[in-house]
């Protein structure tokens, strides 16, 4: 089963970290075992070891074509599932006002810290919320975006989450799902696909960091990462799909 190292970091007792709203989405039957469920293990990572998650996300940078593709000079942008800001940190360059929605408190704290350090504290509002119930008014944003966060599963978006992103987007605005993992599902709902070509690598902070993070997140690749002796590791070595894709829909004006 995928992600054994990550799954085995956590235990069922760790599920107590979830708030009631989080538990109702991530463990709707009231129980679960992260050792059998890598999606649950990721949710625990965000809450129990948020700095570890941030080290990984900071190394896995988006293809520059994605940032070049996003509209510039818009008034309002809403991002859902902002995490520690892999995309959020770039959004002040695209819109006047940014709202970053993120359910996990430890990730919101890191994101606020990074935004303040970068001088974006006034331009980006970080708030708590979930895909299926966005705390934003209808027609709020010119661009509504999610990066490595939306899936077709109800706990991480699904039909209700997509409908919410579209509700929050103004007529003629754009909803964009970056690094999507259910392209067929999105295509069936009118989303077009864009992919940016070229080699892509994960830029770890050092070779030691590459080995340490690969051992946790990409254990099948750790020997090769060690053998290469580099801090930069091609995505194909890690066996994951690089962040070069997006799916989008422009809403009728």
The residues of the shown chain that bind ligand SAM, judged by CB under 6 A, are 25, 46, 57, 80-83, 86-87, 102-104, 107, 130-131, 147-149, 155-156
CB of 242 to ligand SAM, least distance (A): 13
CB of 28 to ligand SAM, least distance (A): 12
Measured CA to CA in angstroms, residue 241 lies from 59, 62, 180 at distances of 14, 12, 10
CB of 6 to ligand SAM, least distance (A): 12
CB of 41 to ligand SAM, least distance (A): 12
> What one-character DSSP code corresponds to residue 85?
-
* Nearer to ligand SAM (CB atom), residue 62 or residue 74: 62
Bridge partners (DSSP) listed for residue 169: 141
CB of 190 to ligand SAM, least distance (A): 21
Cite the DSSP H helix spans in the chain.
4-7, 20-26, 38-48, 50-59, 64-69, 105-117, 158-168, 183-187, 207-217, 222-228, 235-238
Copy the structure tokens of residue 71. 């509209």
Interatomic CA distance for residues 52 and 115, integer angstroms: 18
Interatomic CA distance for residues 140 and 49, integer angstroms: 33
Indicate the SS3 state at residue 163.
helix
């Amino acid at each position: 089963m995928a992600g054994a190292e990550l799954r085995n970091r956590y235990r069922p007792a760790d599920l107590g970290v979830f708030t009631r709203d989080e538990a109702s989405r991530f463990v709707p039957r009231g129980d679960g075992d992260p050792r059998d469920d890598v999606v649950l293990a990721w949710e625990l990572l965000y809450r129990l070891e948020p700095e570890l998650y941030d080290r990984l996300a900071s190394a896995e940078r988006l293809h520059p074509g994605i940032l070049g593709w996003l509209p510039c000079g818009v008034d309002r942008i809403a991002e859902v599932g902002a995490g520690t800001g892999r995309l959020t940190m770039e959004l002040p360059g695209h819109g006047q006002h940014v709202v970053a929605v993120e359910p996990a408190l430890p990730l919101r704290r890191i994101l606020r810290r990074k935004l303040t350090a970068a001088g974006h504290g006034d331009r980006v509002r970080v708030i708590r919320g979930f895909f299926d119930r966005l705390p934003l008014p209808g027609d709020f944003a010119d661009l509504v975006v999610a990066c490595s966060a939306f899936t077709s599963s109800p706990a991480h978006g699904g039909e209700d989450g997509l409908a919410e992103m579209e509700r929050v987007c103004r007529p003629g605005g754009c909803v964009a799902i970056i690094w999507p993992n259910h392209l067929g599902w999105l295509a069936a709902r009118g989303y077009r696909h864009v992919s940016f070509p070229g080699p892509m690598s994960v830029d770890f902070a050092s070779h030691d960091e590459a080995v340490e993070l690969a051992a946790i997140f990409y254990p099948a690749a750790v020997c090769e990462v060690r053998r290469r002796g580099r801090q930069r590791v091609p995505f194909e070595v890690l066996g994951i799909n690089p962040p070069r894709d997006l799916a989008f829909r422009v809403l009728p004006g």
